Structure 1
């Protein structure tokens, strides 16, 4: 799937509706203009802060307070992964940053507040 404004995806956990989806960092940076102008700089910084190519699936979700940026990184144990989140208000100001870790069976392990 390409980046841009999309509705829900068939395999999206919890049936969340993302307004932006990119499979990798290059695609996310290339298509950042598809997001509302107020959050483009903030999202670009979020993507650029993921310094390795191990991050994938950049997503933006709308919630009542603003937006949630999300990226996924595979863990060292095959099948394990971490999901990085950055919550911002409607103007792109950071509200909260955290990471959820999942084991190789897909079970939630812990949340680390950044």
Structure 2
């Protein structure tokens, strides 16, 4: 049974705790570019940076205070659901319906305005 982020299934390793207690220089978290153009990975791997960031969150410490760069989210905010093609089409159709219903009041107002103008233009100028 998972209880939550405050109580992890495993405690952080001694390596992670050491990085929090005595943080390395900020350059250890960034990749290094050599003179010949080759890029070397950071001294502290991205996976370990994630572990350190998670331990900081659990302890209530700001990760930027120990030199960690801001977290970069590379995945899209809204993921498409997995499933058959029919289910995906149904999901996108429902999503479009919700978006169109949000715009419905504006569309009705525009339609009424166009209808009023059309009726006014067909009305004869003379009253008889």
TM-score, structure 2 length as denominator? 0.22
Which structure has the larger Rg?
2
Q: From the two aligned structures, give the one with the greater strand fraction.
A: 1
TM-score, structure 1 length as denominator? 0.23
Q: From the two aligned structures, give the one with the greater helix fraction.
A: 2
